[in-house]
Structure 1
C-alpha cells in the first residue's frame, strides 16, 4: 500500500500523514513546502501535479484546505484538476470534505448548512464544499470517495481510535453528539484507504460515544 497526501502540511493533512506513517505505510507528502516529519516529500503546487507524480500510489488523498473568501472556489477547481489527471486510471482518490452538505432529511433535500441555526460565518465555506461535492458526483471515470467529518471537527481533539462510519445523512452518536477530532478522522481516512470500498460515494464519520 502506497499513499500520497496532497496538502500534507495542513491540519487535517498532517494528522492523516502521521496516522499513515504510524502504520508503516509508504506515504508521500505533497505540499508547496517541505513537510519536515515526512520521509518522502514532493514540493509542488496541486495545480502543477501530473499523473507521473502520483501514478505509483494506490491512494491519493486530497487534504487541501481553502478558507479565505477569494480562495474558496479552489475547493472545486483543485479537485477537478485532480480528477482530470486521474481520469480512467486505477488509483483511488479520497477527499477531505465538509459536514455542511450532510443531509438532515430522508429525502436528501435539506442540508446541515441550510439550517436556521447554522453559523453565518461558516456558510461560505460550507457552500464551497457542497459545490465541490456536487461537481465530483458528476465524475464517473475516477475511483473517488468523499469523506465528510462530523459537524464539530476538532483540530485539537484527542485520538480515541473509535468512530462510526455513516453515509449521506447527518449522524449523531449515542450521546447525541456530532463530533470528531482530526486524529480520529485520520484513523477513519486511513482505514478507508487500506480497506477500499465506497467507490463513487460520500461517507461521513463521527466519534463513538
Structure 2
C-alpha cells in the first residue's frame, strides 16, 4: 500500500485517479483548492487545502507521501511548469523525496513527422497556450537532473473522454498508441488505471509514457 497525494483531486482526471487508488487500498490525500467542493470523492480520502505551485503546500504534504500526483487544470501557459518547478526544487531538498507523477497533455505527443501535435497548423488556437505550458513542464522534468524521480503521463491527443473503466490499455512513449484503424482512444477511467499501475509497478521512471486501447 502506498501513500499518495493527488493535487487536483477534484478535477476530471484527479478524481478518477483518487477513486482508483482508494479502491485498490492505497492511502490517498486529496490536495485541492476548495475542500468544501469535494463531497463526491470516495469515503476514506483525506481532503486538505493544497496547491502544487506552492512550496509550502508541497513541503507540508511530502513527508507523508510515497507519490505525489499532479492532475491540476487551469488556464494560461505557466501553471504546469510552475508546478513542475515547485515540486522538483522542493522535493530535491528532502532526504527521501516522494516520486512525482505528472498528468500532462496529449498534444505534446509526436506526429508521424516527429513534431508535437500542438505545432500542427490546425491545432485549436484556444488550447495552444495550455498545450505549450504542458510542453514546457515536460521539458523542465527532462532537464531536472538528479535528486527526484518523475513520470509524465500523456493521454491520447484527441479521443480522450470520461467513460467506462475496462482495466485494459496499451502503453507507448512519445508517439500515440493506435489501434488497427489508426485511432488513439482512452477514457479517463482507464488512464487512472494506467497511472495507479505505474505507481504500484514503476516502469517509466524519469520518462514519459502514454496509454490507449
TM (norm. structure 2) is 0.87
- Report the 3-state secondary structure (helix = DSSP H, G, I; strand = E; otherwise coil) of the residue aligned with 1:55: helix
CA distance in 1, matches of 2:157, 2:149: 26
- 1:172-191, CA deviations, whole angstroms, 9 ceiling, x for partnerless residues? 12332111111111110111
Residue 130 of structure 1 deviates from its aligned partner by 0.8
- 1:49-92, CA deviations, whole angstroms, 9 ceiling, x for partnerless residues? 143422221111011112x33xx311111221111121154421
Aligned equivalent of 2:121: 116
Q: How does 1:40-189 map to 2 (within 5 A)?
A: 40-46=46-52, 47=54, 48-66=56-74, 68-69=75-76, 72-87=77-92, 89-105=96-112, 108=114, 110-140=115-145, 141-189=147-195
- Report the 3-state secondary structure (helix = DSSP H, G, I; strand = E; otherwise coil) of the residue aligned with 1:61: strand
Count of residue correspondences = 202
CA distance in 2, matches of 1:50, 1:57: 10
Residue 165 of structure 1 deviates from its aligned partner by 0.9
TM (norm. structure 1) is 0.89
Residue 105 of structure 1 deviates from its aligned partner by 4.1
Q: Is the 8 A contact 1:11 1:155 kept in 2?
A: no
Structure 2 stretches of 5 or more lacking a match?
none
Q: CA RMSD in A?
A: 1.8
Residue 204 of structure 1 deviates from its aligned partner by 0.7
Structure 1 stretches of 5 or more lacking a match?
none
CA distance in 2, matches of 1:97, 1:200: 14
Aligned equivalent of 2:31: 30
Aligned equivalent of 1:10: 11
> Which ranges of 4 or more aligned residues in structure 1 deviate by more than 6 Å?
none
Q: Is the 8 A contact 1:153 1:182 kept in 2?
A: no
Residue 153 of structure 1 deviates from its aligned partner by 4.8
